[in-house]
Amino acid sequence: MKFLDQCKIYIRSGDGGGGSVSFRREKFIEYGGPDGGDGGRGGDVWVEAVDGLNTLIDFRYQQHFKADTGVHGMGRNRAGHNGADIVLKVPVGTQVMEEDKETVICDMDKVGMRVRLAKGGNGGFGNAYFKSSINQAPKYANPGLEGQEKWIWLRLKLIADAGLVGLPNAGKSTFLAAASAAKPKIADYPFTTLTPNLGVVDLTTQERFVLADIPGLIEGASEGAGLGTKFLGHVERTAVLIHLIDATQDDVAGAWTTIRGELSAYGEGLEDKPELLALNKADALSPDERLAKAAELEAVAGRAPYIISGVSGEGVRDLLRAAHGEIVAKRAREKAIAIAKLMGGMDADADWKP
């Protein structure tokens, strides 16, 4: 399945049906009077978050979505049917934005969430509606109101608990394959990963989380170098970042500095997220080289890195347990904030950062 995480589409709700001008004409009924029915309401345009989708590829082949027009009213006081609604089904985590790509209409972050994007036009009144004691034979009716139309952007931000970041060939895909049942493409050249991959990590039956692997970053990614930073949106919702560094390269400190600089340039709070630092490919180093590289990295990052190997599995489980601890802590904070807000304690999250 092809991956698409951003697209622009056109939506239009249905017009309302027009009211009818009609008079009752029956034998033996001398004064039939007006009997024009009302028009039906136009269909609405809805967006719904559904489970089982992880791409917006369906919207590449259809960009225009129009709800049905309401049926016109008819004689004998028959009202027209309402136009059928149209529902856009999107993956959980999709943001709906205005055409300016900045104003967020809604964030579809829960399964089953449903939001109306465009309201259908009301149906017009038939001439029977205007009948009164002083106007017993109105010869006019209302036309239906027009629907709403606009262009919108859909942007997918995958729902993951932890995210993998690092330079190309840092071993992120190998780590994802070792930590989960995911089968990402693995090769010995840069930019093997071209689209985000998700894997479910099962530590125990009670300890489970979703891990996201995004394409590697290089220096200048925030300015468009390499694949740029367009995939960093998929780790914005994560509780923790796992920063993998290739232990076999000469300058591990420079690799850490490069990625941290790109995260800061991107913004959106990524630079403030908890970070677990790991020296990957440790199976290719001697004990002395491990200690030297770990000390070099600790000197610049301010904390000791995990020593791991995605190939042999060394240290992988300890790193995953540390990530799960950060995820549990975030969930506990969010629950406490929700309870505090419910109880009226809005200051409970004053010092909390996602």
Question: Pick from 142, 194, 147, 148: which is nearest to 172 by CA?
Answer: 194
Q: How big is the CA angle at 333 (ends 238 and 343), to the nearest 5 degrees?
A: 130
Average pLDDT for 6-29 = 93
Amino acid at 58: D
Q: Fold for 1-156, please state it.
A: Spo0b-associated Gtp-binding Protein; Chain: A, (2.70.210)
User: Which tens digits make up the pLDDT trace of 313-353?
Assistant: 899 999 999 999 999 998 888 888 888 888 875 554 444 44
**Who has greater pLDDT, 222 or 212?**
212
User: Which tens digits make up the pLDDT trace of 233-248?
Assistant: 888 889 999 999 999 9
Is 1-156's fold the same as 162-349's?
A: no
Average pLDDT for 270-298 = 91
**What are the residue boundaries of the structural domains of the chain, listed by start?**
1-156, 162-349
- Per-residue DSSP letters for 24-64? ---TT-S---B-PPPPPPPPPEEEEEETT----THHHH--E
What residues have CB less than 8 Å from 154, skipping those under 6 apart?
Answer: 6, 7, 8, 9, 56, 59, 90, 94, 95, 96, 97
Query: Does 155 score more than 50 pLDDT?
Result: yes
Average pLDDT taken over every residue of the chain: 89
pLDDT of residue 23: 93
Question: Pick from 148, 146, 80: which is nearest to 116 by CA?
Answer: 148
CATH hierarchy code of domain 162-349: 3.40.50.300
Measure the CA–CA gap between 92 and 48, rounded to whole angstroms. Answer: 9
Predicted TM-score of the model (pTM): 0.81
Show the beta-strand stretches assigned E in the chain.
6-12, 45-50, 64-66, 86-91, 94-97, 104-108, 114-118, 149-156, 162-165, 197-202, 208-213, 240-246, 275-280, 306-307
Question: Pick from 165, 172, 164, 216: which is nearest to 190 by CA?
Answer: 216
| Residue whose entry in the numeric block shows the structure tokens 């990530």 | 323
pLDDT of residue 253: 92
